[in-house]
């Protein structure tokens, strides 16, 4: 049986640069989509505020948090497949995109939260990824999503009312992406 398995052709994995380029584009696309979701998608929309979704029993969060969680993981994929330089380029372009798509009243909060959370993610992910990819993705994502939530809510609303919902919503997105880390490890066994 083992001999037969060894003779079967192994599925060809995609080029890590292609995976990185796709993650780069998805990362940048997630920014305007998150901004759009905040004002258009939710089980209810607060007048002059965000549309919210339930993220746990009795806890709601602005709908864009789901894409913020995904974006944090996508940035890690960009760094793994394309390198630190491309990751920092993605952060810079993403920050500009955030400023361009944010509601005027949320520009400072959105831009600051994006930049600080992505740099925090970068700072945690970079030293861990070489030897502990799963730990790097989970730990850096958790740090990034907490920084994003604290900065955004403090600057945008002067309140941490949605903090639990923001963290839980982003964490759901990160947890959904975690199974892809095993695949990423096969596609890009070592960091670019």
Per-residue model confidence as pLDDT tens digits over 141-184: 999 999 999 998 899 889 898 899 989 988 998 888 888 888 88
Higher pLDDT: 4 or 116? It is: 116
- Show the CA angle centred on residue 164, arms to residues 163 and 170, nearest 5°: 90
What are the backbone dihedrals phi and psi of residue 51, each rounded to the nearest 5 degrees, phi first?
A: -85, 140
> Per-residue pLDDT tens for 93-124?
999 988 888 778 788 988 899 999 999 999 99
Q: Is residue 115 part of a domain?
A: yes
Strands 59-62 and 44-45 come out as unpaired
Q: Is residue 3 part of a domain?
A: no
Q: Residue 5's pLDDT is what?
A: 53
The enclosing domain of 161 has a CATH number of 1.10.1760
Q: Is residue 7 part of a domain?
A: no
Q: Is residue 9 part of a domain?
A: no
Q: Is residue 1 part of a domain?
A: no
Q: Is residue 4 part of a domain?
A: no
How many structural domains comprise the chain?
1
Q: Is residue 10 part of a domain?
A: no
Q: pTM of the full predicted structure?
A: 0.84
Residues in the chain: 192
Residue 44 domain boundaries = 15-187
Q: Is residue 192 part of a domain?
A: no
Burial of 87 (0-12, 13-18, 19+ CB in 10 A): buried
């Amino acid at each position: 049986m083992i001999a037969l398995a060894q003779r079967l052709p192994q599925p060809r994995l995609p080029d890590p640069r292609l995976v990185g380029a796709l993650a780069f584009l998805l990362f940048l696309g997630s920014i305007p989509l998150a901004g759009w979701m905040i004002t258009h998608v939710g089980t209810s929309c607060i007048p002059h505020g965000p549309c919210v979704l339930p993220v746990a029993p009795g806890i709601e969060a602005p709908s864009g948090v789901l894409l913020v969680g995904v974006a944090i993981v996508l940035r890690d994929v960009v760094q793994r497949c394309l390198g630190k330089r491309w990751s920092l380029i993605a952060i810079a372009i993403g920050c500009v995109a955030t400023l361009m798509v944010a509601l005027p009243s949320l520009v400072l909060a959105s831009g600051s939260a994006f930049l600080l959370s992505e740099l925090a993610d970068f700072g945690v992910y970079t030293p861990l990824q070489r030897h502990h990819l799963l730990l790097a993705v989970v730990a850096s994502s958790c740090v990034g999503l907490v920084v994003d939530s604290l900065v955004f809510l403090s600057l945008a609303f002067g309140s941490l009312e949605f903090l639990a919902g923001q963290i839980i919503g982003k964490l759901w997105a990160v947890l959904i992406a975690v199974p892809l880390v095993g695949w990423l490890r096969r596609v890009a066994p070592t960091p670019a």
